[in-house]
Structure 1
Amino acid sequence: MCELYCKQDTLTLQGKHIQPSCKVFFAEDTIKIMRAQGQYMFDEKGKRYLDCINNVAHVGHCHPEVFKAAAKQMEILNTNSRFLHDNIVEHAKRLTATLPQKLSVCYFTNSGSEANDLALHQARQFRGHQDVITLDHAYHGHLSPLMGISPYKFQKGKDVKKEFVHVAPAPDTYRGKYREDHEDAATAYADEVKKIIEDAHSSRRKIAPFIAESMQSCGGQIIPPAGYFQKVAEHVHRAADVLIADEVQVGFGKAGRHFLSFQMHGEDFLPDFVIIGKPMCNGHLMSCVVTTKEIAEAFSSYGIEYFNTFGGNPVSCVVGLAVLDVIENVNLQENAVKVGKYLTELLDEQKAKHPLIGDIRCVGLFIGIDLVKDLKKRMPTTAEAHYIIYKKKECFSVPMALTGMCSK
């Protein structure tokens, strides 16, 4: 067990020993979290907070079924995926059952970054090309190759866009290039991708993958116009390129009616890779690349053996299976639809009262609130957003004395 420090001592040690580029939440008045259960987190004084930030504890903090599954397996075996074991094949079987039949081969990894990095490598090897099309404001991970294709990262730092990276406009119909009043925003945004492909070919460059989140999260909770991804896929596949659907933040039922968010774009939209991450093991280290048999066999014949020391280990896989069970057994996808609809109705009431709210975007529990300085100009406001975030911290906290619970 680690030693327990007072909050100030923890902050002092944090500043001394922990890398400074990671900023803790609410840096001006940070919270020291001691434990969590379900949708709640508790600080060192026992104050309870409703957790509206976490995108990893998908079925709730410390879910008893997930915990029991992990503890039981840890008593038996935990090893790497080069040993034959039932848990990894059962997990792969359950995951691929949620996908179109063509997406049938799994590569288990440790994080969304690692999974996206593997898919990027496979896509480049499969087509023998290097260039990448990404969306403006996109974020796909912290590994060096991914930071280079994530405008969310390289546009904020001192890095410059590499010549093999092509940035398409995000399909944002609220403040983007083509808005909700455009006669066909989906086609207009998809044609931007088509032009990038044509310009690359005219410069004797070839695209390996087009990579995008099925709905942009870090990019501003952007929900693409209907038909956008189908049209993009047509352009990409016509050019013999491949398409990566990044579901690390938006998958696993968050969209409500569809288990993975790319499925909301229609049955005729079929990516070549699907990347699953954060929610699949409720905080346990696990992610997955799912691809076609054709691509997997091409990668295998490339001559470089791939395995992952921790990806697909028996404990993580049994945790992943428990998460799938919970999602199904308590109808979490249906709940995402109901709660998302309820929250949207409440937010619409506030929008009618406050011109600060420019737009509300929602699919299931994927919800974005766009705050603006002016409803016509749609310029984003920063100070007010910062203020609201800190007010939420106060509103979503309840003193333990009022709950009848005690701090452990």
Structure 2
Amino acid sequence: MTTMVLSSAALAQPLTAFLEASTTGNFDARQSAAEAQRAQASFGQAWGALLPALSANGGWTHNQYDAVVPLPQPDGTTRNITIVAKNQLDATLKAEVPLIDAARWAQVAAGGASAEAAARRTASTRLQVQRQVVAAYYAWAAGLEVLASAQRSVDAARAQVALRDARADAGVGNELELARARAEVERNLQLLAAAEASLSNNARQLETLTGLAPSEPGTPVREAVSLPELAELERGLTTLPSVEAATLEARAAERTDLASSLALVPAINAQFTQRFTNASGFQNAPAQASGGVTFNWRLDLVGVNAWRVQRANGELARIAADRARRAAEDQLHSDFFNLRAAVKKVSSARSQVAAARRAADLARERSAAGVATQFDLIQAERDLFAAEVSEVEADAEAATARAQLTLSAGNPLAAEVAR
């Protein structure tokens, strides 16, 4: 099935301009990008905990009294041993290396999956933003045509007032017809004001979503669009960012669960310390080194319950991944049938406009010939305006549905809109 829908090809600012602006101007996109950076930094922080750590500290201490012990030597001399110096200097260099820390290994793996999930979540947010931008853009573009149609209705009503004035001046009209014509002008002015307000609000929403203010537009054109096969669109669902993000989040939860269980495994660390001091005591060495291996192990109810909590979190994440896959399928199904319905609406709206325009032409001709009532002409003009609005709305709905179906199928939108 093929029909003609609204396109942005001839607008001064095409849809692609707003889509590009939304990558940096949309609040949700900016927040998601910042969250991805935070997740990547957290992964780096967890990974850094597995690497050797160096620390250094030093100090100067002034003591009121020193502690010096004279120590006799075999040759008969005496050597002073400083236990506490009056002006004591101390400096320590320490290196620590984690040898075995199974819980941290699993936490690093979980952090890596979380960082990947955050990156895919950013891509998913970008797609959601694009869906919003598409809807707002075509609502704005449709508002332009509705405004133009409302202006045409005002012009037509004013022309009828001029005609009724002329007929009254010629003595063949009456005051009732003139009053009706003037009332119709005021009614159409109200519709024009509503169209202007709607267009302004749509432009504001588009600017909020993208950070790009809509400028003076050109004239929208219409292009053909065909309905693709649903089975072909479903092939890309598994690679959708939202599905991949949920899958990675489930993987991260599983690894966090593993890390909680591995907390029962002792952690073994090696350390080396180099100390410098002018109060070395009986060692009588200003530089002293030491090294060793330590292990830490703890078993308590808190750790057991923490493991149970993480296991429940893992199950919740798996459920969320299943829900994300189903939601992607539902969204694609909804967008597909929305587009199919919109295509039918466009075809029907075209026929409605053609019939309403023909009826309006006949009403004008018959009114000029004096064989149609003023009410027939007013009603025909109203029907034409309503039909034109329905056509514009159907075009915008179809264009929006086409773009959103492209996004929900995981296909790039740029090639779809920049034609």
Same structural fold, with TM-score higher than 0.5 when normalized by the shorter chain: no
Higher relative contact order (CA 8 A, sep 6+): 2
TM-score by length of 1: 0.17
Calculate the TM-score normalised by the size of structure 2. Answer: 0.17
